[in-house]
């Protein structure tokens, strides 16, 4: 009886070995077959593969819907939180703007009351015309430009010509369809100006060079001016309104107080001509004669 298991083992051992070898052989053959099938373009396999994909795709899409819905929900929650924060910020900004509006209205009412009590005349409203630069006479004895607007468009003598950077000059002659602008650097240009933040009157005088100079100011005022000070128009003489940007002081030395104009009219193509109704002591406008210069000449 004790030798019976050993006998059974000796009888079944060759069978197990044969089954194992056969299984190994089948697995190797199946692997080789699968590799061969994957390397070949068999229409049947392609149809089977596509059929499986068609069956599985809706299942995958259905399985992905909860995740997509959750992601969409989280995105909407973030957007709502962001909108809430933006709404709170806008409410706070609106409250600040309302406070500023109330302060401005109070100041406007107070200003109007003070003007009425002091009988202060309000400055005239400005009118403007935008005109193209047709030519400029950049010779040795003149710094002027011809613009494509005249009396027919409302241009009057004494109006100021400006660009975005600052004042260019004043209208010196007016025709029906054209006008001539005397630049700040022209030898005949004299303009009442002042240093920004100061009430000291002075005159900006051109000399046909690139840098006009400040004249007619006291020695004390001369010492207080330094490079970097900004020059603006002065209301003295009733020629121009106050506060228009002229340029910046670049030198205060032996050559005098030189100012670099803010506007570079060598590249100007259009100017805005503004009429503030200020004529000063200008005589009647002379008849405009054609210019000899050309743009850039």
Backbone angles phi, psi at 257, to 5 degrees: -100, 110
Q: Is the pLDDT of residue 249 over 90?
A: yes
Highest averaged pLDDT of the listed ranges 50-54, 83-87, 277-281 = 83-87
> Which pLDDT value is given to residue 228?
92
> Which pLDDT value is given to residue 231?
93
How far apart are alpha carbons 284 and 269 in whole angstroms? 28
What's the mean per-residue pLDDT of the chain? 78
pLDDT tens for 180-191 read 999 999 988 999
The b-or-e profile of 168-193 (16+ CB within 10 A means b, else e) is: bbbbbbbbeebbbbbbbbbbebbbbb
Task: Grade residue 37 by pLDDT with cuts at 50, 70 and 90.
Answer: low
Question: Which whole number is the average pLDDT over 100-105?
Answer: 82
How far apart are alpha carbons 100 and 94 in whole angstroms? 10
Residues 6+ apart with CB under 8 A from 239: 158, 170, 191, 192, 278, 280, 281, 282
Q: Is the pTM of this model over 0.85?
A: no
Question: Which one has a higher pLDDT value, 279 or 14?
Answer: 14
Concatenated DSSP letters for 29-92? HHHHHHHHHHHS--HHHHHHHHHHHHHHHHHHHHHHHHHHHHHHHHHHHHHHHHHHHHHHHHHH
Nearest to 172 by CA among 293, 283, 296: 283
Nearest to 233 by CA among 201, 193, 191, 261: 193
Torsion angle (degrees, nearest 10) of CA 290, 294, 295, 297: -140
């Amino acid at each position: 009886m004790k030798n019976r298991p050993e006998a059974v083992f000796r009888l079944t051992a060759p069978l197990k070995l044969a089954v194992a070898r056969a299984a190994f052989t089948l697995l190797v053959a199946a692997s080789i077959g699968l590799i061969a099938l994957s390397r070949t373009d068999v229409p049947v396999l392609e149809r089977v593969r596509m059929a499986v994909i068609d069956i599985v795709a809706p299942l995958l899409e259905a399985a992905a819907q909860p995740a997509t819905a959750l992601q969409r929900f989280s995105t909407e929650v973030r957007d709502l939180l962001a909108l809430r924060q933006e709404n709170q910020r806008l409410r706070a900004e609106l409250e600040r703007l309302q406070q500023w509006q109330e302060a401005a209205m109070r100041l406007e009412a107070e200003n109007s009351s003070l003007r009425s009590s002091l009988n202060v005349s309000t400055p005239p409203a400005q009118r403007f015309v935008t005109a193209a630069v047709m030519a400029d006479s950049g010779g040795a004895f003149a710094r002027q430009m011809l613009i494509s607007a005249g009396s027919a468009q409302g241009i009057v003598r004494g109006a100021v010509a400006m660009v975005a950077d600052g004042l260019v000059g004043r209208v010196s002659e007016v025709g029906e369809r054209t006008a001539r602008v005397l630049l700040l650097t022209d030898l005949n240009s004299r303009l009442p100006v002042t240093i920004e933040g100061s009430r000291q009157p002075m005159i900006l005088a051109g000399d046909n060079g690139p840098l006009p100079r400040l004249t007619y100011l006291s020695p004390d005022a001369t010492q207080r001016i330094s490079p970097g000070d900004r020059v603006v128009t002065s209301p003295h003489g009733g020629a121009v309104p106050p506060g228009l940007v002229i340029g910046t002081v670049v030198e205060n030395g032996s050559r005098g107080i030189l100012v670099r104009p803010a506007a570079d009219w060598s590249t100007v193509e259009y100017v805005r001509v503004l009429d503030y109704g200020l004529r000063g002591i200008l005589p009647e406008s002379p008849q405009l004669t054609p210019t000899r210069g050309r743009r850039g000449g």
